Amino acid sequence: MPYVNIKITKEGATPEQKARLIQGATQLLVEVLGKNPQTTVVVIDEVATDNWGIGGETVTSLRKELEK
């Protein structure tokens, strides 16, 4: 019955990678806590780099600085 929410920046994760995240997170709950995978829900949110900040700056801005 667990619910897992994974938030990442929207930077090209493929359907295959997202399927692996879902499979891996579900497996983790089964292995560590013996949860039932059939009712384990995983939701992935992909967030625009303009909308994600760390250290007080947007990821968009941090990426530009790295490119300089």
Catalytic option among 2, 4, 10, 13: 2
- Binds its own copies (CB under 8 A): choice among 50, 63, 66, 67: 50
2 is catalytic: yes
β partners of residue 21: none
Residue 18, phi then psi, degrees to nearest 5: -65, -40
- Binds its own copies (CB under 8 A): choice among 39, 65, 66, 68: 39
Say whether 23 sits in a helix, a strand or coil: helix
Other CB atoms within 10 Å distance of the CB of residue 47: 13
What is the contact surface with its own copies in residues (CB under 8 A)? 1-9, 13, 15, 17-29, 31-33, 35, 37-47, 50-61
